Amino acid sequence: MLHVVIAEAEVEPVPASIAGHPVIRREARRRRRRATQMLLDASRHHAAMRSLSNAARRGRPDIAHYTLLVLLESPLNRQGLLRCYLHTRNDEVVFINPETRLPRACERFRGLMEKLFAERRIAAGDRTLLELRRMSLLQLVEQLSPKRVVLLSERGRRMESWELAEELSRHGEVCILIGGFPHGDFKGEYPFERVSIFQEPLAAWSAASEVVSQYRRCIENAQAQPQA
């Protein structure tokens, strides 16, 4: 089983410190909701975000959206061999049912995340699709208890994606951490092995696609080998 965590994802409600900015207030009135119940989005709230720390990095739910679409629609997920998690900058974790089908439209995804932050759980009948829990990245990895954890980083040890996938496929339960932010490095200091799978920085969804496709190939090749 491959566990993929989109780590330090820039997904958060509008901070109270900028809730009174005219840009935020106008949108809140138009949408008829409280400002702090809306999702922070750099494409809409850029002017209001100038006063925030790390403003150039924040308000990027699109990265999480694209990456989750790649993961959840992958053949590996449909074969039941993948589990996905979204860890946010504020140390909350979204546990995602592998059967979840996320909306393709960014606007609808944003609304879904706003509902999740408000209600902490999204269900369909008796099935929980998304659940938000207060949890750090280290606590999540400890709970998953994988036999190997790899953090993808441009500063990591250089490996081809197929080499990494071959190594991971031999270990059973394994975990890959992919940054859910637009640029720079992880804010936290994590005691995990760092690996770079390309000579240049990759978008989170590109890294995710590469890892899951190579991992699936390795699993299928191993299953095709004749038994001794």
pLDDT in tens, 144-177: 999 999 999 999 999 999 999 999 999 889 999 9
d(CA 122, CA 119): 7
Q: What integer is the mean pLDDT of 26-34?
A: 96
Q: What integer is the mean pLDDT of 5-26?
A: 98
In this prediction the pTM is: 0.95
| Domains of the chain and CATH, by start | 2-11+58-224 (3.40.1280.10), 16-51 (no CATH)
Question: Please, which residues have CB within 8 angstroms of residue 210's CB and are 6 or more apart in sequence?
Answer: 161, 197, 198, 202
Specify burial of residue 205 (Cβ count, 10 A radius: 0-12, 13-18, 19+).
buried
Per-residue pLDDT, 226: 62
Reference 59, options 39, 75, 85; nearest CA is 39
